[in-house]
Structure 1
Amino acid sequence: MISAKTNENIPVSYTNKKPFNKATLIGWSFITLASVLICLFYFFPMVQALIMSFQSGTGTNLTFTGLDNYARLFKDPTFITVVKNTVIYLIIQVPVMILLALFLSVLLNDKRLKFKGFFRTAIFLPCVTSLVAYSVIFKYLFGADGIINMMLMKLSFIAEPIQWLTDPFWAKLTIVIAITWRWTGYNMIFYLSALQNIDHSIYEAAKMDGASPVQQFFKITIPMLKPIILFTSITSTIGTLQLFDEVMNITKGGPGNSTMTISQYIYNLSFKYTPDFGYAATVSYAIVIMIVIFSIIQFKVAGDRNA
């Protein structure tokens, strides 16, 4: 009787606990290899780079120097310049791309629109093109004697060719246009998928209450898409802070260092200048810190209590 009463008082989680069996072993066998590979190719290089950021020297002849590399960041004029360039891309390109993607997704979600499949595919296609290929095409399009200048001059918008690639202002604008062209369709797909999951009866009820399309957009669509907007904003921020291919292939960081990004500076420190892998790793972790800061800001602005 005592043992029976004792069993009745034992929680269900303990009485139903199963021993380590064959099914559990099979489950672990599926995830073990993937976990080992992730640790080997992701986490180990991250830890190794962190250790390297506290070292300095030429090539692989590195010695421990403590926080000297991090102190050097604030005295490095090139680093300050590339951070400014990258932040300019971030605060201009990301909001423009997010708003444009939202606008296009709402248009393409209209049931009355014909050939929706064609337009969706056409807008999404740029993000599956080769980074190098489209960068080279943009370089020729925006050249001094490129198609863009020829069209603008024929339409009498300009009297002489714009130096898209050799003027600091226009070169930055060219990079922003290139990034926006490539990634707007990618973000549009997320918004389009979310819009199709919103019950249409909500819009019908709002319409019956006298809400205009603009009011429906700001009072229904934006609040409903808030988690997706936050997600795309953070991923776009991370992508922009790691921007490399477009700048490298279109302007090579010029003129001067006016378009160089942080990632290109890391590349130059590692392979173009005298190799300084320790300082390059330090600059890499500067990107990590910036990503964390901007992500927290975006969570706070979005009102996420878990940030």
Structure 2
Amino acid sequence: MSLSNQGLQEIATNPELHRLGGPDKGRAAQLFREMKMKRQGYMLLAPYFILFFIFTAFPVLMALGLSFTNFNILEPPSFIGWENYANLFIKDDVFLIALKNTLLFAVVTGPLSYIACFFLAWLINELPPRIRSVITLLFYAPSISGNVYLIWQVAFSGDSFGYVNAFLMKWGFILEPIQWLQDPKYMLFIIMIVQLWLSLGTAFLAFIAGLQGMDMSLIEAGAIDGIRNRWQELWFITLPSLRPMLMFGAVMQITSSFAVADVATNMVGFPSPQYAGHTIVTHLNDYGSIRFEMGYASAIATVLFAIMLGSNLIVQKLLKKVGD
């Protein structure tokens, strides 16, 4: 089989390729030489990559493999093909409820919390340094507090002493207390409110740090080029300059919105009445931590991973259009 014209030209201009046997082997040899020259850097990166593979990449690959098996920890896994996935989408009605709740939860809280994180960071960044530090701490504190759910449990208590019921009864909106945390009509809405309150976490701090590190000369150049107001400055200068932080914040917010479990469990219990607060992660915990059906739990985890990956790819494409 003859070489292409480009390959012949490379061999003609680079005599070393004659000895190596063609352009492909020449590129391989060049890559090997570069790796040899940079071996100190690879050695420094090796501990991170080893830990990343052991504790992140390998568990993901192992979960993908186990999702095609019947594995209960006590017995060796047995291959069953696509049966776990077929059961998920055809026979498991609770999973379909959890999937619907999770998607609805992510569609509502994901964008809202992401936009809220950025705009609050943008507004707080305009304040004097001391005031900015205090307000940043106040907004960030709920995400690192211990028993944050106690406040909301008291607020939405089902008796007349709950703050929400007491307020509504005092002003005549209702005549008797509402069982907020037991009525399926209100559960998911309350979980969304609590999650939004807790969402000002890592992404919020990343936006603050990105705004603090912006090059002010870009804003001056924009003013010279015709930027007329703060909204144009935000769209054409600030957002394009913060694309790495925007991407990081999007990943964090997508992960937190799809992986919601603790909020639902602490607020409405596990399992929740009529599975109104059931999510994919609580379903995963049910089969993985309680029933020990690890093959089925791995299938649930794989589906969740695919949904998160697809959402991140969509967000990446949307963020590339920022500032255009």
TM-score exceeds 0.5: yes
**1:123 CA drift (Å):** 0.7
**1:27 CA drift (Å):** 7.7
**1:224 CA drift (Å):** 3.4
Aligned with residue 268 of structure 1, among 262, 286, 295 = 286
The yes-or-no answer on 1:48 pairing with 2:62 is yes
Kindly provide the amino acid, as one letter, of the partner of residue 78 in structure 2.
T
Aligned with residue 64 of structure 1, among 67, 79, 94 = 79
**1:299 CA drift (Å):** 1.6
* Greater mean deviation of Cα atoms: 100-109 or 137-146: 137-146
User: 1:29-48 maps to which residues of 2 (within 5 A)?
Assistant: 35-48=49-62
- Corresponding position of 1:301: 318
Contact 2:203 2:248 survives alignment (8 Å): no
**Structure 1 stretches lacking a partner, 5+ long:** 1-5, 7-12
**1:259 CA drift (Å):** 1.2
- Corresponding position of 2:198: 182
The yes-or-no answer on 1:73 pairing with 2:88 is yes
Contact 1:74 1:80 survives alignment (8 Å): yes
Aligned with residue 152 of structure 2, among 103, 116, 138 = 138
Aligned counterparts of 2:274 and 2:302: Cα–Cα separation in 1: 25
Aligned counterparts of 1:197 and 1:275: Cα–Cα separation in 2: 48
Aligned counterparts of 1:296 and 1:26: Cα–Cα separation in 2: 30
The yes-or-no answer on 1:282 pairing with 2:299 is yes
| Identity within the alignment, % | 25
RMSD (Å), alpha carbons = 3.4
Aligned counterparts of 1:59 and 1:19: Cα–Cα separation in 2: 42
SS at match of 1:163: coil
Contact 2:227 2:233 survives alignment (8 Å): no
Contact 1:83 1:262 survives alignment (8 Å): yes
Aligned counterparts of 2:184 and 2:198: Cα–Cα separation in 1: 22
- Corresponding position of 1:291: 308
The yes-or-no answer on 1:85 pairing with 2:76 is no
* TM-score (normalised: structure 2): 0.75
**1:87 CA drift (Å):** 0.7
Aligned with residue 231 of structure 1, among 220, 225, 248 = 248
The yes-or-no answer on 1:123 pairing with 2:150 is no
Contact 2:181 2:268 survives alignment (8 Å): yes
Measured at CA, do residues 121 and 168 of structure 1 come closer, stay the same or move farther in structure 2, by a change above 3 Å?
Answer: same
- Corresponding position of 1:255: 273
**Structure 2 stretches lacking a partner, 5+ long:** 1-14, 16-28
Measured at CA, do residues 47 and 60 of structure 1 come closer, stay the same or move farther in structure 2, by a change above 3 Å?
Answer: farther
Q: How many residues align?
A: 287
**1:39 CA drift (Å):** 3.5
Aligned counterparts of 1:137 and 1:232: Cα–Cα separation in 2: 27
**1:155 CA drift (Å):** 5.4
User: 1:151-166 maps to which residues of 2 (within 5 A)?
Assistant: 151-154=167-170, 159-166=175-182
Measured at CA, do residues 227 and 160 of structure 1 come closer, stay the same or move farther in structure 2, by a change above 3 Å?
Answer: farther
- Corresponding position of 1:95: 111
Kindly provide the amino acid, as one letter, of the partner of residue 138 in structure 1.
W
Kindly provide the amino acid, as one letter, of the partner of residue 235 in structure 1.
M
Kindly provide the amino acid, as one letter, of the partner of residue 54 in structure 2.
L
**Deviations 1:48-105 (CA, angstroms, capped at 9, x unpaired):** 3222211125553342111111222220211111111111111100111112112211
